Amino acid sequence: DARVTQTPRHKVTEMGQEVTMRCQPILGHNTVFWYRQTMMQGLELLAYFRNRAPLDDSGMPKDRFSAEMPDATLATLKIQPSEPRDSAVYFCASGFRADTEAFFGQGTRLTVV
Amino acid sequence: GENVEQHPSTLSVQEGDSAVIKCTYSDSASNYFPWYKQELGKRPQLIIDIRSNVGEKKDQRIAVTLNKTAKHFSLHITETQPEDSAVYFCAAGNAGNMLTFGGGTRLMVKP
């Protein structure tokens, strides 16, 4: 049963620290999304990759957030420095294309204190 | 870019009643409209989707309708059950563009 894997599942960090979240998309999927969710509603798109190339990261605060795909099996989302307002659940999703089913990972619950 | 509006934000129904959630989109190039269900503490999962060459699609108690002219689509759940309680998201996109989600609807089915 192929699944999108995200690590860590939970992260508590102090304000100002760097946070790195990782995502392993389903093998063969060439589309990867990063979403942020607060208060159990609202999936805010942060970044979108196709064939490892970033196509849209307009929803991401550029001064502190960065997203990369070093290879086809790994996507990363970094926050440096982290702030309390970054506390949320960060989901990674992958699919064959943007017009096919997006499979979500379990999410990383980030708490910045 | 695409903008997806979803209503209502919360919906409470009695078990056995029907529930309807509505979404509008802005980009006429969007041709793929999925619906996701997210249970508490879980990941969103696809429950049904529809493409722009189809006006309606059904899967047991769930149906989705699409009006391309008006740029809106709806999710219909009949004979609701307590296990239908969750947050539902609509989305719109196409092969060359990203998938944009609506703000979500919290559905509560009262026994």
Q: Tokens 């991401």 map to which residue?
A: A60
pLDDT mean over B18-46: 95
Nearest to A33 by CA among A51, A20, A49: A49
Confidence of residue A47 (pLDDT cuts 50, 70, 90): very high
List pLDDT tens digits, range A18-38.
999 999 999 999 999 999 998
- What are the backbone angles phi and psi of residue A39, rounded to the nearest 5°? 50, 40
B33, B98, B100, B101, best to mutate vs chain A, most A CBs in 10 Å:
B98
Cβ pair B43:A106 closer than 8 A: yes
Chain B interface with A: residues with Cβ < 8 Å: 1, 9, 31-32, 34, 38, 40, 43-46, 49, 51, 87, 89, 93-101, 103-104, 106
Of A13-17, A38-42, B8-12, the least confident: A38-42
Among the partner-chain residues B31, B49, B98, the one whose CB lies closest to the CB of A55 is B98
Among the partner-chain residues A45, A58, A97, the one whose CB lies closest to the CB of B95 is A97
3-state helix, strand, coil in chain A (%, to 5): 5, 55, 40
Max CA separation in chain B (angstroms):
43
CA B26/CA B64 separation, integer angstroms: 18
Q: Tokens 């589309």 map to which residue?
A: A31
Residue A41: the pLDDT is: 62
Of A18-32, A43-57, B19-33, the least confident: A43-57
